[in-house]
Amino acid sequence: MEKNLIDLRNITKVYVMGTEELFALKGVDLQINKNDYLAIMGPSGSGKSTLMNIIGCLDTPSSGEYHLNGKNVSEMDDDELAEIRNLEIGFVFQTFNLLARSDALHNVELPLIYKGLPKSERIEKAEEALYNVGLEDRMTHKPNELSGGQRQRVAIARALVNDPSIILADEPTGNLDSKTGNEIMELLEELNKKGNTIIIVTHEEEIALHANRVVKIRDGSIESDVLSEKGKAAMQRKEIEI
């Protein structure tokens, strides 16, 4: 069990609003292996983003235990979590969340700055990451000089630049047309093939088809957790290999 990259045990998240308590997550158990490709689905307000933020160490659970790579994350302080986010996790957001005043290169460089790498090494890695998402000719463009799809690629390059073990994407295609959305999904699929663990939140069935495993959430609880056709196929391949 310790092999699991992500191990959530009885996670709850409670928001206290005045006198009311709002349970965004009601005891979630979830294990995710290395190199998994997981889609989280569910209606609006069901707790997808909340779960995602906890997995990504952006948020802390109200109760329950969370082990990431064998480390007990639920006991870490803010700065330790920041370090985990910096080194282990790459975020891709629906709204891109790029720094508006900085060009693509600087946006991608940022995680490396917080990691403390010297300038030359940073530039080299950031350029490589942008090259990998096909933006080598847009490095000096600011976000408002890029299309939505290009912005999301910058965000993906930023998520990848530090070589994290997990990519978290919360509705990465939500603000894109279906064609650009598909391009982004292909990019993520390639990353998964290269060994990255990927978790995406979506409410589009077609998007979820890219994943190996689909987790459905309703009202803060896991409703179902199944392998997709693709996942089953991959499973069979693995069994044959063994």
Partner 1 sequence: MNLFLEIKENLIISYKAITANKLRSFLATLGIVIGITSVTLMQTAIEGINRAFEKSISAVGADVLYVQKFEWFGKEDWSFYRNRKDITLTQYDYLERNIQTAASVCPSVGTTKTLKYQDLVLENVFVLGTTNEYQITFGANMEEGRFFTQKESDGGYPVCVIGMDIRNAFFENTNPIGKTIKIGTYSFRVIGVVEKQGSLLGLVSLDNRVIVPIDRFFSLFGTKRSLSINIKAGDINNLDETKEEVISIMRKARKVPFGDRDDFGVNQQEAFKATYESLTSLIKIIGSLITSLSLIVGSVGIANIMFVSVKERTKEIGIRKAIGAKKRTILLQFLIESVSICLLGGLIGIMISFPISLLIDKFVLPTAMPLWVIMLGLVVSVIFGVLAGFFPAYNAAKMDPVDSLRYE
Query: Given the rule CB under 8 A, which residues bind partner 1?
Result: 53, 56, 58-59, 78-79, 82-83, 85-87, 91, 93, 97-102, 110-111, 113-116, 118, 158, 162
Handedness of CA 43, 10, 93, 204 (dihedral sign): negative
Identify residues 22-81 at the interface with ligand ATP (CB under 6 A).
22, 24, 42, 44-50
Residue 216 touching ligand ATP (CB under 6 A)? no
- CB 89 to partner 1: min, Å: 9
Residue 173 touching ligand ATP (CB under 6 A)? no
Closest CB to ligand ATP among 161 and 222? 222
Residue 182 neighbours by CB distance under 10 Å: 16
Which of these ranges, 2-10, 15-23, 75-83, 135-143, lies near ligand ATP under the rule CB under 6 A? 15-23
Q: In the complex, which residues of this chain contact Mg ion (CB under 5 A)?
A: 49
Strand order across the 63-68 sheet? 20-32, 6-17, 63-68, 71-72
Q: Is 53 helix (H, G, I), strand (E, B) or coil?
A: helix
CA–CA dist 48, 106 (Å, integer): 30
Torsion of CA 157, 55, 195, 31, to 10 degrees: -170
Query: Which of ligand ATP, Mg ion, partner 1, none is residue 46 near (CB under 5 to 8 Å by kind)?
Result: ligand ATP
- CB 233 to partner 1: min, Å: 34
Closest CB to Mg ion among 49 and 132? 49
Q: Is 147 helix (H, G, I), strand (E, B) or coil?
A: coil
Closest CB to ligand ATP among 23 and 114? 23
Closest CB to ligand ATP among 122 and 216? 216
Token reading at 240: 């044959």
Residue whose pair of structure tokens reads 């409410």 in the numeric block: 203
Instruction: Output the DSSP codes for 64-132.
Output: EEEEETTEEGGG--HHHHHHHHHHHEEEEETT----TTS-HHHHHHHHHHHHT--HHHHHHHHHHHHHH
Closest CB to ligand ATP among 5 and 25? 25
What is the number of the residue whose Cβ is closest to ligand ATP?
Answer: 49
